[in-house]
Structure 1
C-alpha cells in the first residue's frame, strides 16, 4: 500500500527534466519560446471561448444587471485556484501541471488519477470545443449565403435523436417551423443524408478538420502556435472591446433598474456556468518547459489572464444589460440580438468571425496541453517511453501530439456533445481540488515549508482559523433562510417541495392551455407530467443517492472547518478547495458515476503498466 503513495521529490522532478528521461528526449528537448505576453495570451485564449456570449445572455436573463457582480465574485473564487497553481508553477516549472504537483504532494497513485482525469479536460474537452467550433463556422458561412450540408456538419447520434424527437412532435401535429432550430437541423440532416449499405452517412466534417489542422500546428512548433494564438486572441479581444465601445453610447441607465430583479437566487442561478467560463487558465502551466522564465512569468500570466478576462466579461455584461432589457437576453447569441436591436446588423458578421477565432484558440491551447502531460507521465515511467519522444526539428512531443490529435479527431464527427460536456467539467474541478490540497500539504509539513521558501511566488497566507468556520455557519444559515423547504427535503430525504412546485407549474400551464390552445403548451404539459411522475416515484434511498455528492461536500466542509480551527490553515487554498468541491457536487450523481468508471479504466492501465514500470519502483535516481 505504501508503494502506491510513493512521492517524487521536487529535486528529483527537476533533475529528471534536466536529464531528459524518455525515448528521444536526448535529441534536443523543448524549445523555450514563451514570454509573459505569450503566456497571458494563451491563458486568455483558453478562458474566453465563444460560448461565453450565450452564458452572459442566459445569466443576465435570470439575474439581471447584477450578474456583472457575480462575474467579479466568481473571478475572486477562481483566483483562489489560480494562486495555488501559480505557486506550484513557480516551484516546479515542469510541463505536467496538476499531475506533477500531485506527484510531489500526494504520491504516485493520486498523480496517476489526476493525470488520467486531465484527459477529460484536454482531450475529451476538446471534442466539445470542436463540435461547438463547427456550429459557429457553419453559421459564419451561412452569413455569406453558403449552406454547408447538414449531414456533414452534425454528429450521427445527435441527428438520430433529433429525427426521433421531431418525428414524434410532427405526429402530434406540431408544425416543423415551430420546432427549435437545433432539433430541426438534426431532423433534416438525418432525413436528407445519403446511405451506404443501409447506414446513414452523417458526420461533423468541419469539427474533424478543425482538430486535424490545429494538431498539425501544435506538432510543427510552439513558436508557430504562440504566433497563431496571439493573433486569434488579439482579434477576439478587439471585437469584445469594439462591442463595448459601440454599445456604451446606447446604454440606457433605466435598464439597470432593478439591478437584481429576481433577487439573489436569480443571480446565483448562473454561478456554475460563469465559473466554467473561467476554466482554462491552468492549461498554460503545461507549457512550463517552453517558458523563458517560468518561475517569474507563469504565476503572473495566470493571474493576469483571469483579471483581464474578468474586466472584459464585466464590461460586456454591463453594456448588454444597459442597451437591452435583461428579459430580452435569453438567447444563444445575445450580441447579434443587440446589434439587431440597434439596427447594426452589419456588425454581427464581425462577431461571427470573432466566435470562430475564439473557439479555434481554445482548441489550440488544449491540444498543446494534453501531449505535454503525457510526455511528463512518460518521463516518470507511467506511460510508454515513446510518449516522451521530442521531435529533433520541431522540438515538440511529436508522438504524444499525434495521439492527442487522433484521440480528439476520430470521435468528434460522431459523438453527441451532451454526453461529454459535464465529464469535462468534473475532471477539471478535480484537478483544482488536488492542487489546492497540495498547497495545504506543503504549507503544513516541515519539508514542504522549506520548499515553499525557494519559490519565486508564494500563496499569501491568511489564517483560516476563524474565517472558514464562520463562513460555514453563515453559509448554512443563509441557505436555510433562502431555501427553507428544499433544505428540509434535503435532510429528510424527501422531494415534497419539488413535487409541489411541479404541480403548480402544471396547473398554470393547464390554465394557459384553456385560454390559448397551442402545440407548444401541450408539449410543455406533457414534459411536466412526465417529470412529475418521475419525481413522485423516487424513494428516499434514491433521493439520498442522487444527493450523495452534496452530502460528501457537506462532510468535507465540516472537516475543513475543523482543520482550519485546529491547524491554522491558509485561507486561500482552503476556500479554493471548497469552492471547487461544491461545484463538483452540483454536477450530479450520473456524471460522478461516469467519472468513477473513467477512473476505474485508468486504474486498470496503471496497475498493469504504470505501477510496474514506474521509475520510482525501479529505484531510479
Structure 2
C-alpha cells in the first residue's frame, strides 16, 4: 500500500505555484514566437513527409478527409491542453499535467511518451530529411554525394546524424538564438506551402478525384486500406502532422504571460496547421492520380508531371531548407521534459542542471548524443506507428487529467448512491477503448483472416460495440449531470463543453489508436514497462513523493 501511495502521489497546485516562483528559466517567448514554434513543428513534418504517402497507400483522394478528421480530433484534445497549460504554466506539457492529476508513476510514463514525440521523432525526421537532401543534390547540381555518407547495404546515414548535430549545437547556444532562426525558417516554410497550394490548384484536375474513396483492399502488411477503413488509417498517420501545439505547451515555462499566450498559440497552431495541411493535400491529389503519387518526393514529382518543371526545384529546395526547423523544435522541447523530470527526482540530477542562461545544457548534450547515434544508425520506417501511438496515449492522459481537475471536488451521484470519480473515469476509459476496438474490427476494417477472433467480431462485434458505447455514454451523462458550477471569470482559459469535449477527444484518439498493428502495441507495452522499471528503480527512491509527507 505504501508503494501504491507513492506511485499515485500528486503535486498540489500550491506546490506547483511554489516551483513556478523559483523557476530559473527566462521567459522570452511571446505569442508570435509560440505560434511559429507550433506551426514550425507541425507543418512540413506532416505535409512534406506524409501527405503523399497517405494519399497513395492509405486513402486515395479521401486523404483530404483523413486530414480533416485528424484536425477535428486535435481541436477536441487542444481544449484540455489550453486549460491545463493555464493552470500549470510550466515546462513538461502532459508530464506536468499528469503529475498534478494522475500521480507520480503516470507522470513518469507520460515523460517516456513525450520522449517518443519529441526526441525520437526528431531523429526519424532527420532520416526523412536526408532522403530529400540527397534527391535535391542530384536535381540541382547533378551530384550524388559521397558514398560513405550513406553506404549502400547498411543503415548508416551520416547526413541525418550531421543535421541533428547542428540542431543540438543551436539549442546549446540558447533559446534566444534558436527562436529567431525558428521564426525565419517557419515563415519561409509557410511561404513554400502557400506556393504549393496556389501553384497546384492552377493545375487541378477534378478527374483525379474519381473515385474519391477508392474500393477497400488489403495491402501486403495485412492492413485494410482505401475505403473508409483507409480514411481512418490515414487519419491515424496524419495525426502526427498536428502535434506542434503540444510542443508549445511543453515550453510554457519560458513563455511570456503563459496563461494568455499559450491558449492563443495552441488554437492558432491547430487552425493554421489544419488549413495548410488540408489545402496542400487537396493540391497534390488534384494534380496527380493518387496511384501515381511519389511518396518520398510528392510535390516535386507532381509538379514535374503537370509540366511545371520550374516549380519542382522551388518546392524541393523549400522542403530541404525548412524541414530541419521541425527537427530543431522537437529537440528543443526534449531537454525541457527531462529537466522537469530530473527536478522531480525521476531522472538523474544532471538533466536538471542549467547554465548561466537558464538552458538545460547537460541534458541537451546527453540526449543529443543518443539521438545523433539513433538518427545515424537506425532505420525509422517501423517506428512511425510507434511514435503516433505514443502521442495518442499522451493526449488521452491530458484529457483524463482535465476531467480529474474539473470533477475531483464534486460528488458523483447516481440516484441514491455516490460513486467515486476514479471508478467513473476508469469505466469510461476502458469502455470507450473497447467500443473503439469493436467498431474498428467489426465495421470499419473487419479482418479477412478466418480465425476465432474474426468469427467473434463477425457475429457479436457490432452488438458488443453498442454495449460498450452505451456504457461510455452513460458515464459521460453521469459526469454531465453532476458537473460543477463554472468558477467566476478570471484570467484562466476554460475548455468549453466539459465533460463532452474531452470524452469525445478520448474516444476519437482510441479510434485512431486501434488502427495500429499488433507489433506496434507490443512495442508500446515494452516501452511503458521500461518507464515503470525506471520509476521502481530510481523514481520511487528519489521522486517528489519521497520529499513530501504522503
2:526 corresponds, among 571, 574, 597, to: 597
Counterpart position of 1:39: 34
Match of residue 491 from structure 2: none
Aligned residues: 497
Alignment match of 1:211 (pick from 164, 180, 190)? 164
Paired residue for 2:504? Answer: 575
What residue is the counterpart of 2:313 in the other structure? 349
Tell me what 1:13 maps to.
16
- 2:375 pairs, out of 390, 412, 422, with 412
Distance 2:524 2:434 in 1: 28
CA distance in 2, matches of 1:145, 1:474: 50
In the alignment, structure 1 residue 436 sits paired with structure 2 residue 399: yes
CA contact (8 A) 1:50 1:358 kept: no
Given the superposition, is the C-alpha separation of residues 65 and 592 from structure 1 closer, same or farther in structure 2, using an over 3 Å criterion? closer
Match of 1:69 in 2: 65
Check the 8 A contact 2:437/2:511 in 1, yes or no. no
The CA distance in 1 between the partners of 2:468 and 2:548, in whole Å, is: 36
Cα 1:110–1:312 shift into 2, 3 Å: same
How far apart, in 2, do the equivalents of 1:46 and 1:617 lie? 36
Identify which of 345, 353, 359 aligns with 2:323: 359
| Structure 1 residue 234: Cα displacement | 1.2
> What's the CA shift for 1:52?
2.4
Between the aligned partners of 2:537 and 2:165, the Cα distance in structure 1 is: 31
1:493 paired residue number: 453
Please say if 1:245 is aligned against 2:198.
yes
> Within 5 A, what are the aligned runs for 1:198-237?
203-237=156-190
Which moved further from structure 2: 265-274 or 210-219? 265-274
Preserved contact between residue 40 and residue 326 of structure 2 (Cα < 8 Å): yes
Match of 1:125 among 104, 117, 121: 121
* 2:387 maps to 1:424: yes
Q: Tell me, yes or no, if the aligned pair for 2:338 and 2:352 is still in contact at 8 Å.
A: yes
Secondary structure class of the residue paired with 2:118? helix
Equivalent of 1:153 in 128, 150, 155:
150
In structure 2, what is the equivalent of residue 564 of structure 1? 476
The residue number in structure 2 matching 1:584 is: 513
CA 1:379–1:592 in structure 2 vs 1: closer, same or farther (change >3 Å)? same
Question: Are positions 1:338 and 2:302 aligned together?
Answer: yes
- The answer to whether the 8 A contact 1:116-1:602 is kept is yes
Aligned to 1:281: 245
For 1:102, the equivalent position in structure 2 comes to 98
Measured in 2, the distance between the counterparts of 1:311 and 1:117 equals 27
How much is the aligned-residue C-alpha RMSD, in angstroms? 3.4
Misfit runs of 4+, over 4 Å? 469-483, 487-490, 495-498, 552-559
In the alignment, the residues of structure 1 paired with residue 127 and residue 142 of structure 2 have an alpha-carbon distance, to the nearest angstrom, of: 21
Unpaired runs of at least 5, structure 2: 216-226, 413-430, 481-497
Map of 2:256 onto structure 1: 292
Asked if the contact 1:553/1:585 (under 8 Å) is kept, the reply is no
Contact between 2:130 and 2:160, CA under 8 Å: does it hold in 1? yes
Pair member with larger Rg = 1
Q: How many Å apart are 1:301 and its aligned residue?
A: 1.0
Q: TM-score, normalised by structure 2?
A: 0.82
1:113 Cα deviation from its structure 2 partner: 1.5
Distance 1:399 1:600 in 2: 26
Shift in Å, 1:573: 0.6
